[in-house]
Amino acid sequence: MSTRLLVTGGAGFIGSNFVHRWCELYPDDHVVVLDALTYAGNIANLASFVGQENFRFVQGNICDRELVDKLLEEENINIVAHFAAESHVDRSIMGPGAFVQTNVVGTFTLLEAFRQHWEANSKNGDFRFLHVSTDEVYGSLGTDDPAFSETTPYAPNSPYSASKAGSDHLVRAYYHTYGMPTIITNCSNNYGPYHFPEKLIPLMCINTLIGKALPVYGDGKNVRDWLYVGDHCSALDVVIHRGLPGETYNIGGNNEVKNIHLVEMLCELMDELAPDLPVRPAKKLITFVKDRPGHDRRYAIDATKIKTQLGWTPSIKVEQGLRLTVEWYLNHRDWWEVLLSEEYKAYYRENYR
Ligand code: NAD
Ligand code: DAU
């Protein structure tokens, strides 16, 4: 059976990178993107596919059961890759309601629709429901704690991570209760092309280019384990093709970096690669600001399981990935300039007030 893939959230950062990769590698597969185009969704990310045979974009909400039922049936979907989510921790602190709605209720809606569709197709063995989740569900690590493994107990600390944890539990329950072929992945921080400007790395790149302060939360010593988005997408490909239903796979870059060090690396790359910086050296723009409430200190992923069981390892080191990313933001000014909208500016004022 050829793959007929429904990608939720395919106009967002990781979802659109995933669609690019999938359509290039598997041109005979049929890809349907369902995306509500919230502030984080951008149809420009998929511009090269719109109108192509084997590709369909549908603007709609994953909470809309009727729409999801219709798409699964009329497109004869056998694989769902579920990226759609409210994904920004800072926004979840300002307004958690949307996170519960999309991440929990939306995932539940998809699960119910997929269950009905899978049962109507005699529980076809080629069906899969891939739930793309985060390492944040495991909580926060101390400096010397071992990295998160698949058996680390859940301890989410923000409304965002709590809502993702809730969705993970539902996905897990659908495998155990109904035997539905679900798989969960928990990944560390991604970066790369098409990353919405309010997340750390694009925000630092763009603020450097426009000569604005680079706001570092707290003491800047929080640690994240950075993974180039292309590596995340290759891991998801492996999981879809070879992962086992009912399993969870952790995905990480083995690239732990303190925030302040990461920002300094970005500044140095900007000094080297950007000809007309308004402020030089870019480091002069670094400004320590009030910490994020409940800010998790450290994340780190133990990706041994996906390496030993499925043969996946990341291919891009953080120095190389950051260079690629800075070059992308330098070469795609027209992509990000339009995203610095009034809504973005209002969010910015509120968050960094
Ligand atoms: P993003 O915010 O860039 O994109 C989310 C997409 O989902 C957007 O296109 C948005 O329009 C869409 N969307 C939001 N609500 C929707 C709804 N109700 N119905 C339909 N579409 C909706 O997010 P991202 O960074 O690409 O993350 C994608 C997934 O990966 C999320 O589930 C996130 O939890 C997970 N994840 C992200 C990271 C990371 O570092 N960004 C790391 C690990 C896991
Ligand atoms: O770990 C995976 C998660 O990574 C994903 O599940 C989330 O969807 C994704 O947004 C990301 O969450 P973070 O909160 O780690 O990412 P963010 O880019 O918001 O922040 C990264 C770090 O940088 C974090 O320690 C907070 C800090 N930070 C962030 C911003 C926006 C700053 O110091 N200043 C800032 O202005």
Distance (Å) from CA 191 to ligand 1 centroid: 13
- Residue 274, both tokens: 């950007």
In the chain, % of residues over pLDDT 90: 98
pTM above 0.85, yes or no: yes
Report if residue 287 sits inside a domain. Answer: no
**Considering the domain boundaries, does residue 291 fall inside one?**
no
User: Is 138 part of a structural domain of the chain?
Assistant: yes
Considering 35, 86, 138, 160, which one is annotated as catalytic? 160
Surface-to-core class of residue 345, CB atoms within 10 Å of its CB (0-12 exposed, 13-18 middle, 19+ buried): exposed
Percentage of residues in the chain having pLDDT higher than 70? 100
CATH assignment of the domain containing 92: 3.40.50.720
Does residue 40 lie in a domain region? yes
202, part of any domain:
no
Residue 83 Cβ < 6 Å to ligand 1: yes
Return the residue matching tokens 């185009």.
Answer: 37
Is 53 catalytic? The answer is no
51 CA from centroid of ligand 2 (Å)? 34
Q: Residue 1: its pLDDT value, please? A: 57
Q: How confident is the model at residue 185 (pLDDT cuts 50, 70, 90)?
A: very high
Q: Domain total for the chain?
A: 1
Q: Kindly report whether the peptide bond that precedes residue 281 is cis, defined as omega within 30 degrees of 0.
A: yes
Position 164 in a domain: yes
159 φ, ψ to 5°? -55, -35
Beta 256-258 vs 223-225: how paired, if at all? antiparallel
180 within some domain: yes
Q: What is the pLDDT of residues 219-266, one digit of tens each?
A: 999 999 999 999 999 999 999 999 999 999 999 989 999 999 999 999
Angle between helices 159-178 and 107-120 (to 10 degrees): 20
| Spatial distance between the Cα atoms of 255 and 251, rounded to a whole number of angstroms | 12
Domain of residue 67 covers 4-195+228-254+297-315
Q: What confidence tens digit (pLDDT) does each residue in 41-91 have?
A: 999 999 999 989 999 999 999 999 999 999 999 999 999 999 999 999 999
In a domain, 210, yes or no: no
Q: Which atom in ligand 2 lies closest to the alpha carbon of residue 158?
A: 14
